Each structure stands twice: as structure tokens, then as C-alpha cells.
Amino acid sequence: METVLNEAKKLYNEPMHTCEHILNQTMVRMFECPRSRNAHIERKKSKCDYELKVAPTEDQIQELIIRVNDLIDSHLPVTISLMSREDAGKLVDLSKLPDEASETLRIVRVGDYDACACIGQHVENTSELGHFEIISHNFEEGRWRVRFKLI
């Protein structure tokens, strides 16, 4: 456990990174797709790539925005716990976990909505996020790239 606590955390912008967790879980629930396969999280704007069979419709994109903002507005607590890799594997998808990851994992939960193994920084409550807005998106060869910001 000591090793996990001493490892450097990714220095993502806390609100945007927490929003990424909500966006990921919302995409999983709406489109039955994996969490983003590639993400670039910054303070002003961020992007995530999702593997989808077809591009989301404009109605689906509007529904996505509504769902993410409803979750943010629910003022969910963001909590962190440490658990064994075996126990974490029963709760979250560990397929992206690097082989050299510790046997003790840091699990970040956004209320009861999302749980994910993560070393990034997060807010303590979704009330700290602001409002989720999609800036742009495009679909190419099974990849939907969405660019977003918090206002």
C-alpha cells in the first residue's frame, strides 16, 4: 500500500478529470461501449475517443449532455479507496491496467454512478464541476471523438 501512496498522481485538472469519469460511465450506459480508449484532459477543453459502430445522432448527443449535467447537478461525493487488485477486478474493468501496476489499486467512485481504477486528481463533489458542454465532435472509422469543456 505504501508504494501506491508514494506514486505520483497524474496532474490532470481536477474538475475536467472528474467530468471525464462521468462522461465515460454515461457513454458506457447509453451506447454499451468501453470507456474512452484515448483521452486528453486539460483545464480549458478536453477530448475523449470512443469506439462505436455508428456515429451518435444529434438527439443522442443532446441526451448525453443532459445526462452528464444531471449527474453533475446531483452533487455526488467523489471518494477514493484502496483495494487489492483481485477485489478491484470484481468492481471495475482492469483491462487497461498496465502490467507494472501495484497489487493495491486506487479506486475512484463518483457516488454510486461510477467506479474506476485511477491515479488522477479529482474534486470532492460533483457540485464543483460547473456545466458540461460539447464543443465539437466527429466520427471516423469507428471512433467518435468528442471535445468538451466545463463552464
What's the pLDDT at 99?
A: 84
What's the pLDDT at 12?
A: 72
What's the pLDDT at 6?
A: 36
Cβ-Cβ contacts under 8 Å for 28 (sequence gap 6 or more) = 34, 35
pLDDT band at 2 (very low <50, low <70, confident <90, very high): very low
- The domain locations on the chain are 2-150
Q: How do residues 32-63 score in pLDDT, each as one tens digit?
A: 999 998 999 999 999 999 999 999 999 999 99
Question: Where is pLDDT greater, at 146 or 99?
Answer: 146
What's the pLDDT at 11?
A: 64
2-150 folds as: Threonyl-tRNA Synthetase; Chain A, domain 2 (3.30.980)
Q: How do residues 81-129 score in pLDDT, each as one tens digit?
A: 999 999 999 999 998 888 888 999 999 999 999 999 999 999 999 999 9
Q: Is residue 149 scored above 70 in pLDDT?
A: yes
pLDDT band at 8 (very low <50, low <70, confident <90, very high): very low
Question: What torsion do the CA atoms of 76, 43, 101, 8 make, to the nearest 10 degrees?
Answer: -110
Say if residues 130 and 63 touch (Cβ distance below 8 Å): no
Say if residues 31 and 52 touch (Cβ distance below 8 Å): yes
pLDDT band at 10 (very low <50, low <70, confident <90, very high): low
What's the pLDDT at 144?
A: 98
